[in-house]
Chains A and B, each alone.
Chain A
Amino acid sequence: MLRLLLARLGQAALVMLAVSAVSFGMFRFVGDPVAALSRENATIAEKAELREQLGLDRPVVVQFAGFLSRIVRGDFGISFRNQRPVATLIAERLPATLELVLVATLLSLALGIPLGVLCALKPDGVAARLVQAVSLIGISTPTFVTGIVLILTFAVTLGLLPSFGRGETVQIGPWSTGLLTLSGLKALILPSITLALYQLTLIMRLVRSELIDVLSSDYIRFARARGLSARHIHFTLALRNALMPVITVTGLQIGSLIAFAIVTETVFQWPGMGLLFIQAVSFSDVPVMAAYLLFVGLLFVLINTAVDLLYALVDPRLRVRA
């Protein structure tokens, strides 16, 4: 088991190195922030001096080596745009993104599972067909369109919910939460629906197909023959088994929700990491972009490593092979 763990961690480190190299290579093409940071009348000497101070005049390989050695020491640099340490910025923005992702995940589970069950149990019913049709729209509409439509409906036309921001937040130690105030909760509704929509559809369809599969298996047939109640069979015996892959997919999806909350956060001016990243891109704020990409890379590596290890725990055959 220990050997497996070490092997996995070694692989994870290699992946991270690759991620940082690829992302750093990309920065060659995102330009430099000198123009954005300079005053309009700046002389050529002024611009050259700034470029030199930022280390942008050095060869990419040298810049990358410097970057890696700083990362190892835990120094992510200072944001060109926000002029504050990148680590502080990410720590400040993380709560906003995590709360949004958490609520969106809960929402997609709370709605996706019952709807999936409905579609599986009564596949030819009017309700199931309607849900299926609507879910197609949900999966095919781009996030920014959904977001804007929600804003126009609930903020502009009905005036019920805020169209942007996070509302009032309460600071608990390093964590700022919007879950404890009314305005914070109201502000969460539209962005979390927008973010959850895709995942909701995914979970619903997954539950439906898994459940249909399970319901046609032998043990359910025997349970029916034994005369157990339909309720017991559907929810206690069948659904439990159908949910196994759903849990795996949801876990993996949390990673991508965090990584791809960028669009939702931009549409709703949600002060999370996605917004931080998108602004860094338009400013070629290299330290922020690099740290963000590393963070997302780390997140996926961690989730995948955890899943691999869990599988190994569950399935002894994998242990032998490793």
Chain B
Amino acid sequence: MNRIAMLLAAVSATALISTATDAKTVRWSAPTDIATLDPFAQTESFTTAMLHHVFDPLVRRGRTMQLEPALATGWKAVKPDTWRFELRKGVKFHNGNAFTADDVVASVTRLLDPGARARGNLSQVIRAEKVDDFTVDLVTKGPYPLLLNDLAGIYIMDKEWMEQTGSLKPGNIATGVSTAASTTAIGTGPFKLESFKPDAGTNMVVNPDWWDKPEHNVTRIEFKPIKSDATRVAALLSGELDLIAPAPLQDLARISANSAFKVIEEPSLRLIFLGLSQRDELKSMPGQKNPLKELKVRQALWQGIDLDAIQKRVMRGKSQNTGTLVAPPVPGYDKANDTLLGYNADKAKALLTEAGYPNGFKLGLNCPNDRYINDEAICVAVAAMWSRIGVQTDVKTESRATYFPKQDRGEFDSFMLGWATLPPMDGFSVLSALLTAPKDGFGGSNSMGYTNPEIERLTREAAVELDEPKRRGMMVQALKVAKDTIAYIPLHLQPVAWASRQGLDVPQFPDEYVRLWFAQVK
């Protein structure tokens, strides 16, 4: 009996040792968990990023964020409203089924279902048509320049598996549909899903039959969500985790002081700015003309903000100040647009006097306190700066859950918003959602009443312009108008900061996606 026990112990010990040497495991943590494994039942960028390890899209973002072939090897527009995609041959799903045009058609059809929460991500596509086993046509509502950008976030699911498990319809919280696809994921991606326990952990193992040549040496991923910042950092320092993304800004100094760990950070795509109501009245001064309609007043408010002070004190030097509404990597960015007015309190006061407000006015400033990095602290600082130039600012902060519905209804005089142009990663998203009037599917987040005829025209033209340089020119022009008219006051690009142990190399991307298929474990 004893002998058997010893033998067993020895066997399990060797098993442990051998897995320890071969395994290149990445244990990483984030404050939130995956919402669902059903790629078409959600629109969250974090969940989408996680699922990218299991699923492949037709086209994907490469190391420098460029669009490159994935499950599609080539494409061309055969008609202004029809794109033809050549599919990759010899690709297998994790269950062994072959990838063909049927899977693409079934996936696109599933996404376009009225019950699919994510169908807005492919809003310009009407249908997918199979041409032959490895050729598919996508039909759009009209000429549509951003089709590839959209497709980079659309994952391809296995048709046979969906049929077998009855998950051809997407999960939907409103209609109460949840299918096998909500709790299992079969894709063609670099990793296979092993287990998914909400709030406890998600495990993946490497897919040895992946169609692409792996640039990583990871054999296993253990994702463990940890909501509390302090605990997440402690778990990294105690060696229970290899990577935390994001890492809390206030702990970066402490982590990098420890030689066993490193911090990587760069500006993200998420641009933080302030919106100014253009309605006839402000809530803070009912019955009077809205002073924010005066360009000089908006200019005074911009010049009254000491961006450097916010960057240094509130953001601890980690953010990057900006003068335009899109981040440098995003199409539509132009260096000439990215200039600052510069902080000048005296000039700001003079502008207010010129505009007829020598004694300032009353203004409400509303901000979320749990959505952007240091959102509340930034607003408190801005309110103090505005009060210094004579604009008595009443700052109110609240949770995102109550903040955004009010912002949607346009209840604020001035407010904070962040925009990352994701998932398309294109400046068009700023034009179509923030700078245009809310009609014809435009202006989805423009509730403050800003309109400009030139931007309206340029946005509608850019929407159907297939000539890329021309389209970018239109966006640059429209963003210049937005800047000249001070549609919004841009503040900064908020940082992405990750922390890992020294032996792990993970490239960072401005869209904040963790892409472990580029990771190297030593």
Contacts and interface: CB of A to CB of B under 8 A. Distances in A.
Given A34-B405, A35-B405, A276-B199, A40 B419 contact: yes
Given A79-B173, A155-B240, A148 B231 contact: yes
Contacts, number: 169
Interface in B187-237: 197-201, 224-228, 230-232, 234-235, 237
B35 A163 contact: no
A169 to B, nearest CB: 8
B277 to A, nearest CB: 17
Nearest to B121: A39
B227 A37 contact: no
Interface string A34-74: 11111111111111001001100000000000000000000
A138 B449 CA distance: 55
A282 B370 CA distance: 9
B444 A266 contact: no
A123 interface: no
Contacts of B329: none
A164 B226 contact: yes
A77 B407 CA distance: 28
A271 B200 contact: yes
A283 B200 contact: no
A66 to B, nearest CB: 13
Contact of A47 (B174, B234, B444): B444
A151 B231 contact: yes
Interface string B21-48: 0000000000000011010011100000
Nearest to B117: A37
B433 A148 contact: no
B432 A41 contact: yes
A182 to B, nearest CB: 13
B18 interface: no
Nearest to B175: A53
Nearest to A167: B200
Interface in B85-137: 117-118, 120-121
A163 B43 contact: no
Interface stretch (B51-59, B76-84, B422-430, B481-489): B422-430
A125 interface: no
B interface residue count range (under 10 / 10 to 19 / 20 to 34 / 35 or more)? 35 or more
Interface residues of A, number: 57
B364 interface: no
Interface in A237-283: 266-269, 271, 275-276, 278-279, 282-283
Interface stretch (A82-90, A111-119, A223-231): A82-90
A41 B444 contact: yes
Interface stretch (B290-298, B394-402, B512-520): B394-402
A269 B226 contact: yes
B231 A283 contact: no
Contact of A283 (B178, B235, B401): B401
Interface stretch (A25-33, A298-306, A307-315): A25-33
A162 B201 CA distance: 15
Contacts of A50: 117, 174
Task: Report which residue of A30, A36, A77 has the largest number of chain B beta carbons within 10 angstroms of its beta carbon.
Answer: A36
B174 A53 contact: yes
A30 B405 CA distance: 11
A8 interface: no
A40 B429 contact: yes
Given A155-B238, A164-B235, A166-B200, A38 B174 contact: no
Given A151-B231, A267-B231, A33 B401 contact: yes
B400 A36 contact: yes
Interface of B: 35-36, 38, 41-43, 117-118, 120-121, 171-176, 178, 182-183, 197-201, 224-228, 230-232, 234-235, 237-240, 370, 399-405, 407-408, 419-424, 429, 432-433, 438, 441-445
Please provide the 5 A-B residue pairs with the shortest distance between their CB atoms, ordered closest to farther.
A35-B404, A53-B174, A31-B401, A31-B402, A39-B43
Given A32-B401, A35-B405, A39-B118, 11 more contacts: A29-B402, A34-B408, A35-B403, A40-B429, A43-B441, A77-B176, A148-B234, A164-B235, A165-B200, A284-B401, A284-B402
24 contacts: A31-B401, A34-B404, A35-B403, A37-B173, A39-B121, A42-B433, A43-B120, A44-B444, A45-B441, A47-B408, A53-B172, A78-B176, A82-B198, A83-B35, A83-B173, A84-B183, A147-B231, A151-B230, A163-B235, A163-B238, A269-B225, A269-B226, A271-B198, A284-B402
